[in-house]
């Protein structure tokens, strides 16, 4: 009976630890894979119905620089950084992407982000009137 209990305990312990995987947020936090060219493919905002997705391309390079084109014109450029922080009123730190334009009073998205394959999502707390941007790698 003791031997059966021991074997069952080891099996449960193995099942509990063997199925763990690295959360996606931890992979995104490292910044790995952000460098590249990203096209805006979805834009969630508190906009009028039928509002089109802006023609926007975001380029992030490996040296922490970015360029943001809107309608094929330079809208912003500067540096970007990643880290962990609390956004959208949540209590758990999550990966944060901050684009800092080199020109004052220039807008660039920043907020919690997720990176999954060819999709980059930057969430500026859409529940709190901030947009949520979905980009696809080009």
| Per-residue pLDDT at 50 | 82
Closest C-alpha among 31, 17, 109 to residue 70: 109
What DSSP designation does 38 have?
E
pTM: 0.73
Domain 22-137, classified CATH 1.10.3470, yes or no: no
Terminal CA-CA length for the chain: 60
DSSP state of 34: -
pLDDT in tens, 14-40: 333 333 323 344 333 344 589 999 999
Query: Which residues of the chain fall below pLDDT 50?
Result: 1-31
Domain edges within the chain = 22-137
């Amino acid at each position: 009976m003791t031997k059966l209990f021991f074997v069952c305990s080891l099996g449960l312990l193995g099942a509990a630890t063997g199925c763990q995987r690295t959360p996606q947020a931890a992979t995104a936090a490292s910044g790995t894979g952000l460098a590249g060219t990203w096209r805006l493919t979805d834009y969630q905002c508190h906009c009028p119905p039928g509002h089109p997705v802006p023609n926007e391309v975001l380029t992030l390079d490996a040296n922490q620089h970015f360029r943001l084109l809107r309608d094929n014109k330079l809208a912003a450029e500067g540096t970007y950084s990643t880290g962990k922080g609390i956004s959208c009123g949540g209590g758990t730190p999550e990966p944060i992407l901050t684009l800092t334009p080199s020109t004052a009073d220039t807008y660039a998205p920043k907020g919690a982000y997720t990176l999954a394959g060819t999709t980059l999502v930057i969430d500026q707390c859409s529940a709190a009137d901030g947009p949520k941007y979905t980009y696809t790698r080009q």
